[in-house]
Amino acid sequence: QDYPSLSRIVVVSTISGGGLIAYSEANSSYTANGVVETGIKKKKVVLLGTGWAGTSFLKNLNNSQYEVQIISPRNYFAFTPLLPSVTCGTVEARSVVEPIRNIGKKKNVDTSYLEAECVKIDPKSKKVFCRSKQGLDSNGKKEFSVDYDYLVIATGAQSNTFNIPGVEENCHFLKEVEDAQGIRKTVIDSFEKASLPELSDEERKRILHFVVVGGGPTGVEFAAELHDFVTEDLVKLYPRAKDSVKITLLEAADHILTMFDKRITEFAEEKFSRDGIDVKLGSMVTKVNEKDISAKTKAGEVSSIPYGMIVWSTGIGTRPVIKDFMKQIGQGNRRALATDEWLRVEGCDNIYALGDCATINQRKVMEDVSSIFSKADKDKSGTLTLKEFQEAMDDICVRYPQVELYLKSKRMRGIADLLKEAEAEADDGSKKNIELKIEEFKSALSQVDSQVKFLPATAQVAAQQGTYLAKCFDRMEECEKNPEGPIRMRGEGRHRFRPFRYRHLGQFAPLGGEQTAAELPGDWVSIGKSSQWLWYSVYASKQVSMRTRVLVVSDWMRRFIFGRDSSSI
């Protein structure tokens, strides 16, 4: 599969105060400094977003034929896995962010940044329309447009409220650095408020009731961080609050951390129960009022729970600009932009999408799964031996690690059960028809809501996609000049791009009390203090710059020595 030729990459991010950059249509191009280089027509890439996907693309792009215009409302990259730590002051907000202008500084690629939000993408005129927070002229005009040769959409996603009444108005989200700072302030303010005189016990308990909605990795990590903050630091400073403080975790499914191995789920649930975190499973939130939250159990019982603060962490939804773009290109019924495996937005030329705002079309995945099964059927008899079936399944799980995660999760029957059943029926390794199992597997796969992202919405996926796309862009010119590759290489695909393949490197679930659960490739599960040290080293090594690495490590040391700071600023 050849990558199509790139002429201009557009990254959308934010406009930061500075003057606007002129966009050349003629055979001259403007560098980030406004210097005109005549005669060289650089390809203009507009990049929307300065998160994991956009930053990884930017860091890895290494070809002087491009001029990259970054557009994002946020002039920095934020290391989101540490946001739960920011909510409790384990790590400071400034330690997890890096200015995008630092990251974008490159010797061989012209990059410039505009602090603005992209509000509309027009693929017909190859323009993005943007709005800045600042007025651009004396009339306070805030809108402007930027044209592109290539557009890279990496705008991420927003918190999903499922349109439940009162969520938007009364809950904290945990998506941005400001959210984490807001939560930290609210927690400390709650303890101060609960210490005021003449409060009834009931009111004090309400104020100190912290509710977390959503038992995914972020909700669980936040509940664990908050528990540590309260028990290790706050109760020493607010001894009267000790008996009134409570943390509740509401989860609509039957278990928390369903995307993790069963052992991790069980350990987390037991640990939370020992820690006194009240985990209410099968509780679906129906409404949030100013002082109480209503939840319904599967049996239909509705309860109203008084709260002081709610953190809403139930997954992600589509940003308005992406919704609008999807409508324009006939993808209006989806939740994320469908791309092919080369990250090209389906039905568009020269537009790429990656990270949380995009998903690789599931239809392609299903075609792949079918072809793997047909390949495994070596004698074309229409039947598979158990061994062939197992090999095909391994192949599928390697290609699509998310299939394995789905199979393990409660959403579908476990692959192990499926194989056990097939094994029990197998007659001593002789040829066995397990077509039925394959059909079962395929139907289970197709039950996975076609709207669900086939790759997890994680920083790991976004960063790998950014690196992949940058490498494709780097080699684009070479491919255009030699579409069939150099003569000695023809037919071997040297100049052809491989489709994007995600490599799952494992996942962590910090559970508080210096204990972390780690699920690493090869079904390796480790829970406890040793995994916590692994977590520290992985997260220190993954920092985007030496500056943030030093800051984060010194924050951890500060916390070990002095505890967390409880000032409400």
Binding residues for ligand FAD, per CB under 6 A?
Answer: 12-13, 48-54, 71-74, 80-81, 83-84, 117-118, 154-156, 174-175, 218, 319, 321, 355-357, 457-460, 462
Strands 158-159 vs 284-288: parallel, antiparallel or unpaired: unpaired
- Minimum CB distance to ligand FAD smaller for 74 or for 495: 74
Q: How far is the CB of 221 from ligand FAD (least distance, A)?
A: 7
Closest CA to 408 of 400, 417, 399: 417
325 token code pair: 């773009």
112 token code pair: 């410039």
Inter-axis angle of helices 362-376 and 386-399, to 10 degrees? 150
Strands 507-512 vs 515-520: parallel, antiparallel or unpaired: antiparallel
Nearest-CB residue for ligand FAD: 51
- 236-237-238-244 Cα dihedral, nearest 10 degrees: -40
- Minimum CB distance to ligand FAD smaller for 53 or for 407: 53
What DSSP character marks residue 230?
I
Q: How far is the CB of 29 from ligand FAD (least distance, A)?
A: 23
Q: How far is the CB of 217 from ligand FAD (least distance, A)?
A: 6
d(CA 178, CA 200): 32
For 14, 211, 305, the CA distances from 278, given in Å and listed in that order, are: 41, 9, 12
Closest CA to 566 of 241, 295, 308: 241
| Contact by Cβ (8 Å): 272, 223 | yes
Beta pairing partners, 121 = 128
- Minimum CB distance to ligand FAD smaller for 20 or for 237: 20
H, E, C per residue of 277-317: CEEEECCEEEEECCCEEEEECCCCCEEEEECCEEEECCCEE
Q: How far is the CB of 31 from ligand FAD (least distance, A)?
A: 22
- Minimum CB distance to ligand FAD smaller for 91 or for 118: 118
Q: How far is the CB of 74 from ligand FAD (least distance, A)?
A: 4
Q: How far is the CB of 319 from ligand FAD (least distance, A)?
A: 5
Q: How far is the CB of 195 from ligand FAD (least distance, A)?
A: 29
- Minimum CB distance to ligand FAD smaller for 218 or for 543: 218
Q: How far is the CB of 387 from ligand FAD (least distance, A)?
A: 34
- Minimum CB distance to ligand FAD smaller for 3 or for 325: 325
- Minimum CB distance to ligand FAD smaller for 245 or for 321: 321
Q: How far is the CB of 233 from ligand FAD (least distance, A)?
A: 21
Which amino acid type is present at position 66?
Answer: Y
- 107-112-118-121 Cα dihedral, nearest 10 degrees: -70
Q: How far is the CB of 146 from ligand FAD (least distance, A)?
A: 11
- Minimum CB distance to ligand FAD smaller for 247 or for 462: 462
Strands 524-528 vs 515-520: parallel, antiparallel or unpaired: antiparallel
Q: How far is the CB of 317 from ligand FAD (least distance, A)?
A: 12
- Minimum CB distance to ligand FAD smaller for 385 or for 543: 543
- Minimum CB distance to ligand FAD smaller for 54 or for 104: 54
Report how far apart the first and last C-alpha atoms of the chain are (Å, whole number): 54
Among positive and negative, which fits the CA dihedral 221, 222, 225, 230?
negative
- Minimum CB distance to ligand FAD smaller for 211 or for 459: 459
Q: How far is the CB of 551 from ligand FAD (least distance, A)?
A: 18
Q: How far is the CB of 100 from ligand FAD (least distance, A)?
A: 8
- Minimum CB distance to ligand FAD smaller for 155 or for 339: 155
496 token code pair: 């052809």
DSSP three-state, residue 525: strand
d(CA 272, CA 255): 12
Closest CA to 192 of 239, 244, 238, 248: 238
| Contact by Cβ (8 Å): 210, 540 | no
For 39, 217, 282, 362, the CA distances from 260, given in Å and listed in that order, are: 55, 9, 18, 22
- Minimum CB distance to ligand FAD smaller for 238 or for 325: 325
| Contact by Cβ (8 Å): 145, 136 | no
